Amino acid sequence: MRTSTTATRITRIAVASSVTAAVVALAGCSGGTSGSTTGATSSASAAAAGPAVDLSGVCPATVVAQTDWNPEADHAHLYQMLGPNPSIDTEKKSVTGDLYANGKPTGVKLEIRAGGPAIGFATTSAQMYQDKSITIGYVSTDEAVQFSGNLPTTAVFAENDKSPMAVMWDPKTYPDVKTIADLGKALQQDKGVVRYFNGAAYMTYLTESGILPKSVTDGSYDGTPAKFVTAKGKDGQQGFATAEPYVYEHEVGAWSKPLAYQLIADTGWSPYPETMSVRSGDLTKLTPCLKKLVPVMQQADVDYFKDPAPTNDLIVKLVNSYNNGWAYDAEVGAFAAEQMRKLDIATNGDNDYVGDLSEKRVEDFMKVAVPVFQQTGGHVKSGLKAGDLYTNEFLDTSIGF
């Protein structure tokens, strides 16, 4: 089965294909050829000056990072680390350039590979075990729990503190609804539904915990806005708080009005999204590299939010070059950056530095997630402990928002 993260992210490619076809067509003209192209820029070289960081000798000559989706602002800390004029491979859907820190090259390359459709919608965990050239990849805590028994990974940096995954609704139809639980009660009265991708683990949690009655859930969501628009506000729908509220209001002409939403993370299902993770068996071997690389990732995360536009421009260029049906423009990127800070998605958490995972939070999540995956499928490690899933040992506690 797909993990909840993979299943729900498919919404973005479907929505993009249906409402921004013109952007995709333009992308086909500008970057659809195979092979490698150059000319993209990033803001890494323009980042705040700081000490040089030498990763040569301790890190692979090319650090390969596997993402879980197409390029987007949610992944910006990775693209922030690319030096000027990286090479774009339109066939492999990847970009490679000098890995920069504090505005200076580190002596190694960084290759960032797209996920989702680029890898046949495989999970990052599966891709990392299939292709051992991958150094590090995006693995959300729910995926790490689900496959802890057969594809164990260890998180070393949490780029975001909360997932942007949300359930959204029409505030004009339901003016008194403030939460997903409120929405469930209102939908029961109006005979509406919440559409979602069938198989999403978070929905099993929402129904089993009583937050949403099963009678108001509909697993037939196909990623397009058509059914939501046709329902004229009667139904709810899954989405991402960093994209859909902007897209539906400004790019879905048949809707063109605000949405209300609640983050699923605020209901009790709160995995750390897209943590930078390594194969657990490689942790010791990679430790010398991670001691230097993880603080670079922390600083890149902080630097991106100081000036998101240059890295967002690179992300848009990559999307257009990959030309695989995913559309993403600078306006959505700017909205995503704003939302990540506004909604405490990108935050220090409960301390003064960025990137750590809380033992209690991971333990609390495991209490709700393990029963879900035992019920819906997965390979949860017997006797799994929070410490099996992450380490904070490489973080620099002086780097934060």
DSSP line for 161-213 = SS--EEEEE-TTT-TT--SHHHHHHHHHHHT--EE-BTT-HHHHHHHHTTSS-
Sign of the Cα torsion 130, 135, 137, 139 reads positive
pLDDT at residue 223, rounded to an integer: 82
Contacts (Cβ under 8 Å, ≥6 apart) of 324: 13, 70, 93, 117, 118
CA torsion through residues 280, 281, 284, 285, sign = negative
Tens-digit pLDDT profile for residues 346-380:
999 889 999 999 999 999 999 999 999 988 777 99
Confidence (pLDDT) at 13 = 46
Domains defined along the chain, listed by start: 4-161+273-388 (3.40.190.10), 165-267 (3.40.190)
Name the stretches of the chain with pLDDT < 50. Answer: 1-8, 10-11, 13, 17-34, 36, 39-40
Q: What is the pLDDT of residue 41?
A: 54
Predicted pLDDT at 15? 52
- Position 42 scores a pLDDT of 55
- Burial class of residue 113 (count of CB atoms within 10 Å of its CB; 0-12, 13-18, 19+): buried
Q: What is the pLDDT of residues 198-220, one digit of tens each?
A: 888 999 999 999 999 999 999 99
- DSSP letter at 220 equals B
Output the pTM of the full model: 0.89
- Concatenated DSSP letters of 250-279: HT-TTT-S--EEEEGGGGT--PPTTEEEEE
The predicted structure's pLDDT at residue 226: 93
Looking at residue 141, what is its pLDDT?
A: 97
Compute φ and ψ for 96, nearest 5 degrees.
-135, 135
Give percent of the chain with pLDDT exceeding 90: 82
One-letter amino acid for residue 383 of the chain: G
